[in-house]
Amino acid sequence: MKLKLMLWVLGWLLTRALRRKPRFRELLGEMRGLDWGVATEDLSIARHYRMSPRGIEHGRGLPVDLDLELRFEDAATALEVLRKPTQQVFLDGMMDGRVRLVGDAADLQRLQKLLRHL
C-alpha cells in the first residue's frame, strides 16, 4: 500500500513541478518528453508516467510503448530504492538482481536529471 501511495504522489509532484518550476519545464522541453513506468516484477503494483512539455499523465499499469521501465523485485525493494534514488543505489540494486532496467540507461539518467527538480 505504501508503494502505491508513493507512486501516486510522485505523479502529483511531477504535475506540480511542471506548473511551478521553470527549470523542470525547460529540461522536459529539451527532452521532448519521456514515457516511463515503475513496477514490481510480478506486476502487482505498476504505474506509468507520460511526460511532455504540454502536460503529464499518469495511471495504473504498464503500457508496452514506454521508453523506460524500472522493475523491482518486490514492493519493499522499490520503497528502499525510490526513497533515495541515487545512481549508486540503482547500480547496487541492479548488481544484486533486485532492480531491473527495461530500456535505455540514457533515459534513466535523463529521468534522474528531471527528478532533481521536484
Q: What is the CATH number of the domain that holds 61?
A: 3.30.1050.10
Domain of 87? 2-115
Q: Check pLDDT > 90 for residue 7.
A: yes
- The position carrying cell 508513493 is 6
DSSP state at residue 104: -
Q: Label the pairing between strands 68-72 and 34-40.
A: parallel
Which pLDDT value is given to residue 42?
Answer: 94
Taking only the tens place, the pLDDT of each residue in 22-35 is: 999 999 999 888 99
- What whole-number distance in Å separates Cα of residue 68 and Cα of residue 48? 10
Q: Does residue 8 carry a pLDDT above 90? A: yes
Q: What is the pLDDT of residues 68-82, one digit of tens each?
A: 999 999 999 999 888
Sheet of strand 34-40, all strands in order from the earlier edge strand to the far edge: 55-60, 46-52, 34-40, 68-72, 99-103
Q: What is the pLDDT of residue 35?
A: 94
pLDDT score recorded for residue 33: 87
Domain count, the chain: 1
